[in-house]
Amino acid sequence: MAANSGRVSSEEGDYIWGDRSSVLSNESSHQNASSKKQLPILPTHRTSMQQSRQPTGLPPADLRLERPAQITHPGPNSIQALQAAPTVPPPTMRITPSVDQQRPAVQVEHLSGGWAQRKSHASIPGRMPQLTVPAAQFQKWVNPQRKYLRRSRFARKVKFFSFICLIGFAGFLAYSWAQSQLAYAETSGQTIVLTVPEGATGDDISILLSEAEVVPSSTAYSWYLKLLHRDLSIQSGSYVVERQSSAGAVTKILEQGPNGNGSVVIPEGLWVDEILDSLAAQLPTVTRQSLEIALSNATFPTGFTPPEVVCPSAQPLCRWEGLLFPATYQFATDVTAEQVISEMTSGFEIAVAELDLVANAQAAGQDPYQVLVVASLIEGEAAIDEDRPKIAEVIYHRLSGAESDNAWLGIDATVIYSLGSRNPGDGVIVERHRDGTDPYNTSALGGSQTKQQLPPTPIGAAGRASISAALSPTANGYKWYTLPNPTTSAHTFSTNKADHDAADAQYDALVAAQN
């Protein structure tokens, strides 16, 4: 065989390459000398090939590559022999499958200068059909193990990455849920005193914190203590904590031990002067002087700045009357005077906001600050809650001036406040009633100057019930009321002067009988 041609023999068939003359001459001589079995040249049937089942992912048939290719195949010896052959000089190659389902074969066809020399070899049984492919793709196609390994490695990478993402996402969800159970999204800014009883366990404290709205979940906080603070020993006592806080913040407070003074009670109806004395007595870290300084530097609650008024000499802090809300407070052991005043003014703002005092007063055509003044009068007069809205009705009726002879409030508590003494004596009270220049005098004895007169400031700290009554008086036509019954503390209300006089007579008889 000439140098420009060649033949490779194997059990499956012969493979020939070279130019036209060399191939034809060597082919005829080789047929006489060789007894190797020859496989028939099988025709290419495009229609049958298109109808046959094409393996998934394989390239389309009859593609050409503009260079010779080295064909690799894992099985047949013929392929190994073909690999060992010299490089095929023709520029193009085409590989087409046989349509013989009993004996599948692959035809290798070298094309050059308008002629073709075909030889066929047996392919691996069961891998039908095989298609015409570029040489680079053919190497991957005829090596399924290599392709499988590549795909399997890629699939494993994808699965591993997906698994990591799934674990990360699950961890994020678990963390977000745990955070929502251990801390509120926003703090309230309010402090409370938590009393831990003797012998309380972590579960008991978790329930107390949850009920007080310090932490969102008692169960989550209980596990938080067990997992992260196993050695935490919580002492019994009073703790000042912030509502709507977090597990970490409240645990830090509990670790430091009790920090509360207990409950500091400021009852309704007290004057500012009395409130400061009570605070100084209950809180060891503040004094009356420090509270006065803090009050002078404080800012009035929004919307409730009192008028410029000359306070009575006995009540120099009259402009702050009614603005320090009466309630039960919880202060830390190291609380300052500024913190106390701030807490009480905040308590007032919260209360009036919850009662919607400003909007309700304006809807009724009233000034919110004057409603607060009326509420302080109700607080000073009423002894039971049922009487508060009735007293409010009488006050508003007299202020309206609908009856010229019943246009004085006639409330003794106003001059008692002006005098600065809870028990000044009847004579002192009557004498002050005659002073028409006192802006806190509401008695008819003051003449026309005190007619329909409302004190310029509240005369005490009104509670929620009195503020609510000032906003919602009854509409029963009440114009008068007697002094409270010494036994029941209830007032008797009347719609006309005759009934009022009769009620007064009954009250006088009752008092005389008791004496």
pLDDT for the residue 351: 95
Query: Pick from 391, 373, 374, 395: which is nearest to 382 by CA?
Result: 391
Question: Which residues lie across from 257 on neighbouring strands?
Answer: none
Angle at 314 between CA 308 and CA 317, to 5 degrees: 45
Q: CB neighbours (10 Å) of residue 477?
A: 11
Q: CB neighbours (10 Å) of residue 269?
A: 19
Confidence bin at 369 (pLDDT 50/70/90):
very high
pLDDT for the residue 121: 41
For the cut 70, the answer to whether the pLDDT of residue 168 exceeds it is: yes
For residue 265, with 0-12 CB atoms within 10 Å meaning exposed, 13-18 middle and 19 or more buried, which class applies? exposed
Mean pLDDT of 144-169: 75
Mean pLDDT of 375-393: 96
pLDDT for the residue 189: 67
Name the amino acid, one letter, at 369. Answer: Y
Report residue 214 as tokens.
């310090």
pLDDT for the residue 146: 54
Contact 491, 506 (CB under 8 A): no
Name the amino acid, one letter, at 169. Answer: F
Q: CB neighbours (10 Å) of residue 94?
A: 19
**H or E element: which one contains 358?**
helix 357-363
Confidence bin at 191 (pLDDT 50/70/90):
confident
pLDDT for the residue 149: 57
Q: Which of 39-43, 156-160, 342-346 has the least mean pLDDT?
A: 39-43
Confidence bin at 143 (pLDDT 50/70/90):
low
pLDDT for the residue 434: 94
pLDDT for the residue 245: 81
CA gap 470, 451 in Å, rounded: 20
Greater confidence (61 vs 345) lies with 345
Contact 200, 236 (CB under 8 A): yes
- The fraction of the chain above a pLDDT of 90, given in percent, is 43
CA gap 348, 343 in Å, rounded: 9
**H or E element: which one contains 332?**
strand 328-332
pLDDT for the residue 225: 82
Confidence bin at 157 (pLDDT 50/70/90):
confident
Mean pLDDT of 14-22: 43
Confidence bin at 325 (pLDDT 50/70/90):
very high
**H or E element: which one contains 511?**
helix 497-514
For the cut 70, the answer to whether the pLDDT of residue 98 exceeds it is: no
pLDDT for the residue 14: 43
Mean pLDDT of 312-317: 94
Mean pLDDT of 405-417: 95
Greater confidence (478 vs 196) lies with 478
For the cut 80, the answer to whether the pLDDT of residue 101 exceeds it is: no
Mean pLDDT of 238-245: 82
Q: What is the pTM of this model?
A: 0.58
For the cut 60, the answer to whether the pLDDT of residue 247 exceeds it is: yes
CA gap 454, 456 in Å, rounded: 6
Q: Average pLDDT of the chain? A: 76
Handedness of CA 274, 275, 281, 287 (dihedral sign): negative
Residues 6+ apart with CB under 8 A from 128: 52, 97, 101, 104
| Full 3-state SS string of 460-478 | CCCCHHHHHHHHCCCCCCC
Q: CB neighbours (10 Å) of residue 467?
A: 27
Greater confidence (479 vs 41) lies with 479
Contact 134, 67 (CB under 8 A): no
pLDDT for the residue 401: 92
Q: What does the DSSP assignment read for 91-109?
A: SEEEEEE---SSS-EEEEE
pLDDT for the residue 230: 59
CA gap 348, 225 in Å, rounded: 36
pLDDT for the residue 19: 42
Mean pLDDT of 348-358: 95
pLDDT for the residue 460: 97
**H or E element: which one contains 413?**
helix 412-419
The whole-angstrom distance between residue 495's C-alpha and the CA centroid of its chain comes to: 55
Confidence bin at 222 (pLDDT 50/70/90):
confident
For residue 373, with 0-12 CB atoms within 10 Å meaning exposed, 13-18 middle and 19 or more buried, which class applies? buried
Q: For 445-475, what is each residue's pLDDT tens digit?
A: 999 999 999 999 999 999 999 999 999 999 9
